[in-house]
Structures are given as C-alpha cells and as structure tokens.
Chain A
Amino acid sequence: MKKYGFQQSNADHTLFLKHRQGKITALVVYVDDMIITGDDSEEIEKLQKQLASEFEMKNLGGLKYFLGIEVARSKQGIFLSQLKYILDLLSEVGLLDCKPVDTPIVQNHQLGEYLDQVSTDKGRYQSLVGKLIYLSHTRPDIAYAVSVVSQFMHNPSKDHMDAVIRILRYLKSSPGKGLMFMKNNHVQVEGYTDTDWAGYITNRKSTSGYFTFVGGNLVTWKSKKQKVVALSSVEAEFRGMAKGLCELLWLRRLLTEIGFAPS
C-alpha cells in the first residue's frame, strides 16, 4: 500500500489512509476482505485498479456482507445485523422454538462461583459463550450479559449455563436487532460511562461500562469487570470513567488521522 502513497494508521494498523488535495481515501484490510471509502473518487477508482492488477480481486461493489455481518443500505442509513448468525446459532443449539424472553439477564442475578455448584458441559459452555462474544459486533444490548457469563469460562455451573440459555432466548425475541448508522450531518465524538459498585458477590469487584458515538452513531461500547477491588463507589466510578476516556482518546486519534480532529 505504501507504494501507492498510503500511510498506515497508528490508531489502527489495519487502516491505510491517503490525503490528496484536501481529499481523503481510507482502506481497511481484514485478512482478505477490504473496505474502501472516502471523498476522493478519482483515487478510489485508481486504487481499485491498482489492487486488481496486483491480486486476483473480486469487486463486491457496495458493502453487503462483511465478516459475517450483514450490511444493508437504505435512504435512512446503514444497518448492520447478524441475523443469519443468530438464527444459525439458535438452530445449532436446538432453541429455534424456545420461548423468547424480554431481557438478556435477570436483575440482581447473584451469579458467581460456589463450592457446591452443579457442573455443566464445559466445552459446550465455552463454545456458546465464544459465539455470543462474536455477536458483540452488532449487539450492544447483550454486552453486559455476555461479559457476565464469560467470567465463568474456566468453571461453568448449571446456573451459568442457564444464564447463557437466557441470552439465547433473548436473542430469539429479537434476532434482527442491530446497529443503525444515520446521517446526522456532523462528525462529533461523544461518550458515556457508568459503573456499579461491588456487583460481584464473590469478590466485590465492580463492573463498568462505556459507550461512544461518532457523528451521532454508536461506534464502540464495553462492559467489563474491573481488575481492582474499588473501596468506594466513587473509586469504582472514576476507574470506569478512565476506561471510557481511554476509548475517547483513541477515537480522537483515529479521527485526527483521518482528518476530522474533534474540536
């Protein structure tokens, strides 16, 4: 890419950028999949030709299916979903006909590790949770529930497996949910954080979460158990804010490199 005048981004090594006459071309490479965008239509055309001369390329035209994520473009915007992935997952575990539920996890779930817990099929548990983690690309609504069940990968119990099944039953109620990107005519960055305190009953660790927007569209989010036992809710809250801020700093760096430094 470098010989075509592209520079590798520091914020993300899979991103290559070229600035020319105040215009921009961006290329993202995911092993053998690539996405090209930008406002330099001449450069985009040139790049496609150059790539085609070097590799055997398949031009898929508009974005439709990227890494198992379905992409739909309409007048309202771009919609990302993993409908097929969810349906395949449900049919694989024989839950296509299960009873749907409205929430991915119960409130005050009390999930933890207990000495007298009833064990479950560990391999199946790990494989299911792994698949749920892959859904994180388009499903922020299950981020917390998945982060909870993924804590018990090494020693899952029947209760943990029930929690996994509940997430699947929740997905059954809303398999087509996904992310909508709409035109809001700005490219500003926003972020929010929140934290509970000592939510984990076994070790009193806290969980924090954040989500960030670029141009009014949700771009990143996370729910994660904190590493340190916070001694007060304020401490837990500050640790959560720090994590959210790190993400915002990364976004600022990325956008600055692309040419849209937030004010």
Chain B
Amino acid sequence: MKELSEPLKKFANDLSSHTVPSKVEEAIEDPRWVQAMNEEMEALNKNATWTLVPLPKGKKQVGCKWVFSIKYKADGSIEMYKARLVAKGFTQTYGVDYQETFSLVAKLSTVRVLLSLAINLDWPLHQLDVKNAFLHGHLKEEIYMDIPPGYMTNNETKVVCKLQRSLYGLKQSP
C-alpha cells in the first residue's frame, strides 16, 4: 500500500471494503466484520438460542459457518455489514434430526389482492419486520451444533451448543 498514491489508495480501500469474506479467517482481520459477527452473537445469546453442554455419547453435532454479506441501499451505498451464523443442515437425517419442515411463505397474489383492496377502500398499509425471525421458533428435536468459528474456547473437553431455538440452515428453518 505504501507505493500507492493517495487517490489510488482510497480506490483500493473502497474495492477491498466491498469484498465479502468467504472464510471467518478473512473476516476477523476486518473490524467491521468482527462487529457484525459480535452483533449476531449478541442476538443469538439474547434469545438463548443454545446452551453449552458436553456432547452426549451417541449423538452427532451439525457443523456451522458464518455467512457474510453487505446490504446495500437502493442508491448503491452500503447500509450494513451482516454476518449470519448458519447451521450446516444438510448433515441432518430425516426422522432422526427433523420430522417435517414447514414455513410460511406468502403468496404474492394475496399481497396484490390486499393492495388492490387497500387502494380501493382507502385502507392504510403498515409494514413490520421481525428481527431474527427464526430465533423465535422453539425446537422440538435435540440438536447439537459446533461452537461458532471464531468463538471457540480452549477447553479440554468437547463442548457443543445444544440448540434451544431454530437457526438458519437447519431443516427446521424456512
């Protein structure tokens, strides 16, 4: 970076700030991504998403990973850096780890019908957004997950997260 001129430096910075890390090792180099990860962990902790337990004999845990993304506003400027912890749900087995998956997906047709009614009948329209929606769903099955990368402790015994609530990536999430 030392050889670059000031405007070039800025350009290079802009470029690198727009790249999304694919590995947690890359992300922890950048304070913005670390902050995003901490925010996600805070939300997960606040919702009591899991408890830490030693892995019981005969149980398997699913893996997990961080997924990073940049949210842009409509004008192209950056709205936020987002880190999301996802479970590697593809390692789950039907019947053992999950029964039947179900999720609410609005038929957009219904939304359009409501829009037409609203405009014809002068109804108000409100939009609400639930933060960390999946975290509100309780799990029936026993699911164990690895400790999120970047947050491992140096304990000798194998400790895993016993999930209390659903997480992105699980078969139990939409």
Binding site for B on A (CB under 8 A): 11-15, 26, 28-39, 41, 44, 48, 51, 55-67, 70, 73, 77-78, 80, 84, 137, 179, 181-187, 214-220, 251, 254-255, 258, 260
* A14-B107, A63-B126 known; A255 vs B113 contact (CB < 8 Å): yes
- Does A66 lie within 8 Å of B110, measured CB to CB? no
B154 within 8 A of A: no
Provide the bound-state CA to CA distance between A186 and B121, in Å: 8
A-B complex: 8 closest residue pairs judged by Cβ atoms? A32-B133, A30-B106, A14-B106, A217-B116, A215-B120, A58-B129, A219-B112, A60-B127
* A48-B128, A215-B116 known; A15 vs B110 contact (CB < 8 Å): yes
Q: Which residue of B has the minimal Cβ distance to A73?
A: B125
Q: Which residue of B has the minimal Cβ distance to A189?
A: B113
A19 → chain B closest CB, angstroms: 14
Select one of B123, B124, B130 contacting A34, CB under 8 A: B130
- Does A219 lie within 8 Å of B127, measured CB to CB? no
Provide the bound-state CA to CA distance between A62 and B125, in Å: 6
Q: Which residues of A contact B109 (CB under 8 A)?
A: 12, 219-220
- Does B115 lie within 8 Å of A78, measured CB to CB? yes
Provide the bound-state CA to CA distance between A12 and B112, in Å: 13
- Does A214 lie within 8 Å of B103, measured CB to CB? no
- Does A30 lie within 8 Å of B112, measured CB to CB? no
Q: List 8 A-B contacts (CB under 8 A).
A: A35-B111, A36-B127, A37-B124, A57-B128, A181-B112, A214-B117, A217-B120, A219-B116
B137 → chain A closest CB, angstroms: 11
Q: Which residues of B contact A255 (CB under 8 A)?
A: 113
Select one of A70, A187, A219 contacting B121, CB under 8 A: A187
Which of A36, A51, A61 has the most B CB atoms < 10 Å from its CB?
A: A36
- Does B128 lie within 8 Å of A59, measured CB to CB? yes
Provide the bound-state CA to CA distance between A26 and B120, in Å: 15
* A31-B103, A77-B119, A187-B120 known; A26 vs B114 contact (CB < 8 Å): yes
Provide the bound-state CA to CA distance between A13 and B106, in Å: 8
Q: Which residues of A contact B129 (CB under 8 A)?
A: 32-34, 57-60
B116 → chain A closest CB, angstroms: 4
- Does B119 lie within 8 Å of A78, measured CB to CB? yes
Select one of A12, A32, A56 contacting B110, CB under 8 A: A12
B152 within 8 A of A: no
Q: Which residue of B has the minimal Cβ distance to A83?
A: B74
- Does B130 lie within 8 Å of A12, measured CB to CB? no
B65 within 8 A of A: no
Q: Which residues of A contact B111 (CB under 8 A)?
A: 28, 30, 35, 66
B15 within 8 A of A: no
B118 within 8 A of A: yes
B32 within 8 A of A: no
- Does A62 lie within 8 Å of B115, measured CB to CB? no
Provide the bound-state CA to CA distance between A78 and B115, in Å: 8
Q: Which residue of A has the minimal Cβ distance to B118?
A: A37
Q: Which residues of A contact B107 (CB under 8 A)?
A: 12, 14
Which of B124, B129, B132 has the most A CB atoms < 10 Å from its CB?
A: B129
18 additional contacts, CB 8 Å, given A12-B110, A58-B131, A251-B113? A28-B110, A31-B103, A31-B174, A32-B133, A35-B111, A35-B127, A36-B125, A51-B130, A59-B129, A61-B127, A64-B127, A66-B127, A78-B115, A215-B116, A215-B120, A217-B115, A217-B119, A219-B109
